[in-house]
Amino acid sequence: MGSAISGHLAEALQYLKAALTLLDAHDAPAHIGAHVDLGICHLKEHLETESVLLDGTDWSSRTSLPLRN
């Protein structure tokens, strides 16, 4: 099951990166891009550590993930 989830996360990561590119190209408000960028960071972290959390853990309190400038 883990590899199927990782595959879906990798696909989602590609969509988020494309969305971020579109947001940047159209000068979208920075806070929108920051939310997308945070999602990208979360997905990358899950894919790198293979620690996919399915229990609804709230990641919003994490401050260690960088946001783009």
Domain boundaries, the chain: 2-49
* Whole-number pLDDT of residue 69: 45
pLDDT digits over 4-60, tens only? 777 888 888 899 999 999 998 998 888 898 999 998 898 888 877 765 455 455 545
Q: What percent of the chain is modeled with pLDDT above 70? A: 67
Secondary structure element (H or E) that encloses residue 43, with its range: helix 30-49
Q: Is the pTM of this model over 0.75?
A: no
| CA nearest neighbour of 48 among 16, 10, 4 | 10
Rounded Cα gap, residues 53 and 26, in angstroms: 33
Sign of dihedral through CA atoms 49, 53, 54, 58?
negative
Q: What is the pLDDT of residue 19?
A: 92
